[in-house]
Structure 1
Amino acid sequence: MSPRLGYRSLRHGRVSLPDHAYLLTAISAYRRPLFRNVDAARNVSRCMHDSSCWGDASLLCWVLMPDHWHGLVQMGSRDSLSTVMNRFKSLTARRLHCTQAGLVWDRGFHDRAVRAEEDVRAIARYIVGNPIRAGLVSNVLDYPYWDCVWL
């Protein structure tokens, strides 16, 4: 499969529903571990708390891994998923261009709508558990690049 076809398939069937929660993933360009760099990780983490990054959407939970980001976002009524993710990637990339050269994020993003019967808090626990599953830490409290509205 060509890279263009893969990117196109990510967008196929994408729907942005107001007031709906989505599990989102953005990957660093070329899967480089940009966020092993403490300054880069801190700069991106600061963006998570910047309300201008999310528009009328709400960031419920997130974790920044060395080469990707996961977030749980509750959509607002105005912006689409693509608008929210483009804004997030643009703002974080601008902040990083002070310390990093080249592309920050890969094209596109992965999204999965949270179904009504799913436990949103269980999804949040799954997200913040990523550093443990990746072997980066043995306790999530030892990993500095995450946050969740329920904690």
Structure 2
Amino acid sequence: MPRMGRIVLPNYPHHVVQRGHNRQVVFAVAEDYQRYLTDLRELKDAWGVKVYAYCLMTNHVHLLLAPGDSAAGLGQLMKVLAARATRYRNRLEGRTGTLWESRYKSSVVQSDSYLLACCRYIELNPVRARMVADAADYPWSSYGARISDRPDDLWLDFDPCFTALGDTAMERRHQYERVMQQATSEEETRLIRDALQRGQLTGTCRFVDEVERIVGQRVEQRGRGRPRSGLGK
């Protein structure tokens, strides 16, 4: 069966996941995580890509990225980011070869209905994996940066849905903490995960129609739906 072509749109958020080759460990110690985030911070500006959310797990990464007017910026960022991590790991271990799976997965996300839900899905990864009981206890996701005002965290881009949660930074943080504490339905989790795995769209039927008009072709999507009220508008 031919592989589905990746859909990348300028100025739209994309949920991206990249896994270690054969699910091998990518991040072993704190320096590994820190180095990847330093590169992400540098490259996002170089390629004009916004970073709305991230979570670095032991053998894979989740990113919520929005390219600017050039959709190619997302692929360029991912290529250089992966290459830097590979060179670092190979040099550290005195080896050669690949670190990542050959192709990252991505899904275009509907902003008004799914953006906050997708941020929450990404930042709750360590909780679902039972690595921590509270997302705030995991140091390698965007959740800590989102609810703090530490200078080192100011590089994270705040998406329009997060900004709309309140008129002040304190209000937005408190509202987002409430969003994170809400029970997540299995339907919401499955919809986001399946859209990513299949390279389909994370959005409603109306969103699919919108993207089809943009790309000029039929876009297949299964399991469409909406997140629970309170996460989207």
TM over 0.5: yes
Could you say which residue in structure 2 is the equivalent of 1:46? 38
Q: What is the TM-score of this pair, normalised by structure 1?
A: 0.81
Partner of 1:122: 117
Alpha-carbon distance in 2 for matches of 1:124, 1:52: 18
CA contact (8 A) 1:57 1:73 kept: yes
Does 2:19 match 1:24? no
1:51-94: CA deviation from partner (whole Å, max 9, x where unpaired): 45761111111000000000000111224243232122123323
- Give the gaps of 5 or more residues in structure 1: none
Q: Larger strand proportion, structure 1 or 2?
A: 1
**2:85 matches 1:92:** yes
Tell me which moved more, 113-122 or 92-101.
Answer: 92-101
- Give the structure with the higher percent helix: 2
Contact 1:44-1:96 within 8 A present in 2 as well: no
User: 2:44 touches 2:50 (CA, 8 Å); kept in 1?
Assistant: no
Task: Write out per-residue CA displacement over residues 34-60 of structure 1, whole angstroms, 9 at most, x where no aligned residue.
Answer: 313333222222222224576111111
Structure 1 Cα separation of the partners of residues 46 and 27 of structure 2: 21
Structure 2 stretches lacking a partner, 5+ long = 147-155, 159-172, 174-233
Shift of 1:28: 0.8
Higher relative contact order (CA 8 A, sep 6+): 1
What residue is the counterpart of 1:132 in the other structure?
127
Q: Would you identify which runs of 4 or more consecutive aligned residues in structure 1 move more than 6 Å?
A: none
Structure 1 residue 129, shift from structure 2 partner = 0.5
Identity among equivalent pairs (%) = 20
Aligned in 2, Cα 1:54/1:62: closer, same or farther, shift over 3 Å? farther
Distance 2:138 2:39 in 1: 17
Cα distance in structure 2, aligned partners of 1:107 and 1:69: 14
Q: Give the C-alpha shift of residue 131 in structure 1.
A: 0.5
- TM-score (normalised: structure 2): 0.55
Aligned residues: 143
